[in-house]
Structure 1
Amino acid sequence: MRTELVSEPGDPARPNEDFAGVALPASGLGGTLVVLDGVTPPKGATGCLHSVPWFTSRLGGALTELTVSYPDLALPEILSRAILRTAEAHETTCDLSHPRTPQATVVVARWSAESVEYLVLSDSALLVESPDGTVTPHLDDRLALLPRALLATDALIDAEIRNKEGGFFTAAADPTVAGRAVTGVLPREEVRALAALTDGATRWVEKFGQGDWTDCFAFARKEGAGALVERVRGLERGDAEAREFLGRSKTHDDATVVFVEF
């Protein structure tokens, strides 16, 4: 098995708000990957004493442990328990009902000798390669499909669409959001490799148009996860003046790529 994990902050002067982990249980059978993209809040109150990296570390750690410790639980139940565990860690000190309480996008994949399970919540991506080389993206595209008018201001997003029916969902403090995730189970023999990417890395496809998801996967396989992130950084540096045209909120974003080949 080949595994690669690269996670780089968008700004070296700021903490990386992404989380990434790969776990291979002691039995030697199966494994799991977890990728979170912490949501950077706008300036102002969040109702929480804790940082986004604190939250993603807590939630990511809980997801990694629970996916390994409870192989018989479905991934939505695992995510629900991980969110609840994380919420309980700061519910007495923080206002978890605040719309900007720390939160994150989620990708989880767990494999055994028989199957590959996956869960995607919000705008990170999971790419699955079959033995014949076909690459299938598993995406939660609710945010991308929303009218741009609904994304005009942070206040409008928080009031109308963040973690609301008809909007989009992230993992924050409500464990029931796990039921909103995109999930599935694939036969193990139909999967040759996986790649999980936060939206700082999916810019290669979604913002800069360097190729489609198949091209992106091929680049990561051939050049490596680190090379994919560095390519995105180069594109960002060369196009910093076109941020508004491209719809990018910041020049650089935290970027994470996890590649697993069976």
Structure 2
Amino acid sequence: MRTELVSEPGDVRRPNEDFASVALPASGRGGVLIALDGVTPPVGPTGCLHSVPWFTARLGGALTELAVSLMDVPPAEVLSRAIARTAETHGEGCDLSHPRTPQATVVMARWSPETVEYLVLSDSALLVEAADGTVTAVLDERLSRLPRTSLATDALIDANLRNKEGGFFTAAADPSVAGRAVTGVLPRSAVRTLVALTDGATRWVEKFHEGGWGDCLTFVRKEGAQALVDRVRELERADAETRTYLRRAKTHDDATVVYAEL
């Protein structure tokens, strides 16, 4: 088995809001990979005393521990329990009903000798390479399918779309949101490689069009996870003035890549 993990902040002056982990149970007969992308809130109140990095560290830590220790519990239920555990750590000073309470996207994959289970919530990605080399991108496309006009302002998003029916969902303080994730189970023999990417890394495909998802996985295998992030940074810098590809997006975003050859 080969694993590789890279996580880099978009701005070295700010904490990285992503979280990533790879865990191998003591039995040596399986494993888990996880990538979270903390949602940067707009300037203004969030109802919470804690930062996004505080939240992603705790949710990611809980999710990693539960995914490894409860191998017989489905991923959606594992995420639900991790969200509930994290919510309990906030304390009475936090309004967890606030639409901007700390939250994150989630990618999780877990394998055993028999199966590979996966879960994707919001706009991070999981690439799955089959035994024959075919690459499938597991995506939660609800956010990307929304009309651009509905995303015009933060107020509109919070009032109508964020963690609401007909909108999109992230892991925040409501454990039931885990049931909205894209999930599935594959035979272990059918999966050769897994790659989790936060949206700072998926820019290689989705914004800069350097190649498709299969090309992206091949690039990481041959050049390494750090090389993918470095290439994204080069493309971001080259587009910083013209905004041909970035448009209104931030120039640099936190970028995480988790690679596992099974």
- Do these two structures clear the TM 0.5 threshold for a shared fold by scoring above it? yes
After superposition, residues 1-262 of structure 1 pair within 5 angstroms as 1-243=1-243, 246-262=246-262
In 2, the alpha carbon distance for the partners of 1:176 and 1:244 equals 39
Summarize deviations over 1:199-233 as a string: whole Å, max 9, x none.
00000000001111011111011100000000000
In 2, the alpha carbon distance for the partners of 1:5 and 1:245 equals 26
SS in 1 for 2:81: helix
Over 3 Å counting, the alpha-carbon distance change for 1:245 and 1:202 in structure 2 is closer
Summarize deviations over 1:157-200 as a string: whole Å, max 9, x none.
00010000000000000000000000000000000000000000
SS in 2 for 1:242: coil
SS in 2 for 1:166: coil
8 Å CA contact 2:208, 2:245 repeated in 1: no
In 2, the alpha carbon distance for the partners of 1:162 and 1:121 equals 13
How many residue pairs get aligned? The number is 262
8 Å CA contact 1:243, 1:250 repeated in 2: no
SS in 1 for 2:143: helix
8 Å CA contact 2:239, 2:246 repeated in 1: no
User: Alignment identity in percent?
Assistant: 77
Misfit runs of 4+, over 4 Å:
none
8 Å CA contact 1:9, 1:17 repeated in 2: yes
SS in 2 for 1:259: strand
Deviation at 1:91, TM superposition (A): 3.9
8 Å CA contact 1:77, 1:178 repeated in 2: yes
In 2, the alpha carbon distance for the partners of 1:171 and 1:201 equals 20
In 2, the alpha carbon distance for the partners of 1:25 and 1:232 equals 33
SS in 2 for 1:229: helix
SS in 2 for 1:108: strand
8 Å CA contact 2:127, 2:196 repeated in 1: yes
SS in 2 for 1:170: coil
Counterpart residue type for residue 217 of structure 2: F
Which sections of structure 1, spanning at least 5 residues, go unmatched?
A: none
8 Å CA contact 2:207, 2:245 repeated in 1: no
Which sections of structure 2, spanning at least 5 residues, go unmatched?
A: none
Deviation at 1:244, TM superposition (A): 7.2
In 2, the alpha carbon distance for the partners of 1:216 and 1:119 equals 20
In 2, the alpha carbon distance for the partners of 1:51 and 1:243 equals 29
SS in 1 for 2:107: strand
CA RMSD in angstroms, aligned pairs only: 0.9
In 2, the alpha carbon distance for the partners of 1:55 and 1:90 equals 9
Deviation at 1:248, TM superposition (A): 4.3
Q: How high is the TM-score relative to the length of structure 1?
A: 0.98
Q: How high is the TM-score relative to the length of structure 2?
A: 0.98
